[in-house]
Chains A and B, each alone.
Chain A
Amino acid sequence: MRKALRAWCWAILAFLPLLAWSAEPTLRGTGDLGVIIERSAGRVLIVSTSSNSIISKVEGLGDLSHASVVFSRDARYAYVFGRDGGLSKVDILRGTLEKRIVQGGNSIGGAISQNGRLVAVANYEPGGLKVFTADTLEPVADIPAAYGDNKLSKVVGIADLPGDRFIYSLFDADQIWIADLRDPKAPKVEKFSNIGKAPYDGLVTPDSRHYMAGLFGEDGIALLDTWQPEQGVKRILANYGRGEEKLPVYKMPHLRGWAVAGHQVYLPAIGRHEVLVADTIHWKETARIAVRGQPVFVVARPDGRQVWVNFAFPDNGFVQVIDTLSGKIVQTLEPGKAVLHLEFTPRGETVWASARDDHKVLIYDTASFAKLAELPADSPSGIFFTSRAHRIGF
């Protein structure tokens, strides 16, 4: 009895330093954290992919329909681009809104520079690019997307390139621009015209060499080799529809997310129930995979073994998984109503899917396809993990 008591005393003594330490703020990294947009609530959830849980909520971010996020290079701050032109800097460790500015009238996306010092916003209204300092969100450059007769184009498909450059497409002007911000006070802009009708989104390949812009106004993808820009923009996968009548498009596809797996790139076909596959050496079509609906996101698991696809209305309750070795669909899931986005954890063991109309986020094991967890969220849309901080093009 006395022995047991003594053992308890020792045990308590041994834990005392731990108790004292826990009074300090808990130290933690951000590598397993992420941000989920609650599009109707103007709020973001800060989540942990280690505990599959919500760790805090940050309010007051304005209209977040179609919001997107980039991260500071230390992966502590999330820059949230709101539809209403709001640019918000969120401290994901403290769970606080550090600063918010309204920099334009209408925007959906942005990018952060290679050196992490500049955040660029692609604006629909007023059409153009605005660049801000990453630390204080002070304006540093304004590059209107002027074309034709004093018109301004909506800017889409922005991505960062090495050398503190940003590449983006002009939806209304059929152009691709590269803005060089190495000297932020004197940005240089390189323009490529007649790249194809109505570019709607763009991506850079994981090596940042190639920029691809999907075309809404015609079948095909505009491709620019940014290592050899003097060769100009080429058209790939032209006429993939081969004269068939297009289906109506109820949601624009997205090219964000790495759709590159191995030496193949997987792309949504506009107005078709197909994923197009091309090789990344000759940029020729190698396959097309019939899928459940019109693809919106076509994203590769980080190891490239699987490609996950979600769909436009009215097939937006489904998610399909393509095995990249066989080129076959190996799984069809129904995570919930209106699945808007998919995001893999950094090494790809799980994928998170937002089901807007079921007001939840679902977490799946990508090996077994088992559902691991569900998190409540108010009309969730984009999901963004901090691993994006260290990838070019994100």
Chain B
Amino acid sequence: MQHLLATHPRRRLFQLSPPATKPSREGVFFLPSIRIGLAVLALGGLGAGSLALAQEPPAPSPERSRELIRMVRQDCGSCHGLTLRGGLGSPLLPETLRDKPPDGLKHTILLGRPGTAMPPWKTFLNEAEADWIVAQLLRGFPEESK
């Protein structure tokens, strides 16, 4: 899987069908400022069906969302890559994460993975923000707005 990602990252991202295991629910959870970007991502990247994700966590304020997006892209990106295709850390693309339970991913973010280079981020994030980050990672993480 990782090998495929490495050779055709973008194309893979755009060909993938959405995770099929989740019960559906309409997505009505985004603040206006990020709704457009995410909708574009969802439509272009994953197909309209991906709006039907389960239990979408509430989005943080627009300002905090921007901070979190920058943190993930830049600071997580220092190990996982700016494009989240992986580096010293593993890739964080929807294809690589979708088989993993979201709760486990949240705990990895908050508590780190002892014995590896993954540090705990709980000092900088609350649980709801970690949930939101996981949800964004699973649907294809937003780009930073300029």
Contacts and interface: CB of A to CB of B under 8 A. Distances in A.
Interface of A: 39-40, 63, 65-66, 83-85, 105-106, 108, 124-126, 154, 156, 171, 198, 200, 216, 248-252, 313-314, 338, 356-357, 379
Interface in B40-84: 70, 74-75, 77-79, 81-83
Contacts of A83: 81-83, 85, 87
B102 interface: no
B122 to A, nearest CB: 10
A276 to B, nearest CB: 19
B82 A40 contact: yes
Contacts of A356: 74
A331 B75 CA distance: 26
A108 B87 contact: yes
A313 B124 CA distance: 10
B27 interface: no
B127 interface: no
B23 to A, nearest CB: 35
Contacts of A252: 78-79, 88, 117
Contacts of B88: 124, 154, 156, 171, 200, 252
A125 B144 contact: no
Contact of B86 (A124, A171, A216, A338): A124
A250 B117 CA distance: 9
Contacts of A200: 88, 117
A36 to B, nearest CB: 16
A105 B75 CA distance: 21
5 contacts: A66-B78, A198-B117, A216-B117, A252-B79, A379-B74
Interface in B93-126: 112, 117, 119-120, 124
Nearest to A314: B124
A106 B119 contact: no
A248 B110 CA distance: 12
A65 B77 contact: yes
A379 B82 CA distance: 12
A249 B81 contact: no
- Main SS class of interface, A: loop
B75 A65 contact: no
Interface string B1-38: 01100110000000000000000000000000000000
A142 to B, nearest CB: 16
Nearest to A62: B83
Closest 10 CB pairs of A and B: A105-B6, A248-B119, A65-B82, A125-B6, A313-B75, A251-B78, A248-B120, A249-B119, A63-B83, A83-B81
A313 B78 CA distance: 10
Contacts of B112: 248
Contacts of B87: 66, 83, 106, 108, 124
A315 to B, nearest CB: 12
Nearest to B71: A313
Contacts of A125: 2-3, 6, 86
Given A125-B6, A216-B117, A252-B79, 10 more contacts: A63-B83, A65-B81, A65-B82, A66-B78, A66-B87, A105-B3, A106-B6, A108-B87, A156-B88, A356-B74
A223 B75 CA distance: 30
B124 A106 contact: no
Contacts of B82: 39-40, 63, 65-66, 83
Given A216-B117, A248-B112, A248-B120, A106 B86 contact: yes
A156 B117 CA distance: 15
Given A248-B119, A250-B119, A106 B85 contact: yes
Given A66-B87, A83-B87, A154-B88, A106 B117 contact: no
Contacts of A313: 75
Contacts of B79: 251-252
Contact of B70 (A85, A216, A357): A357
Nearest to B122: A248
A251 B77 contact: no
B143 to A, nearest CB: 9
Given A66-B78, A124-B88, A252-B78, A84 B83 contact: yes
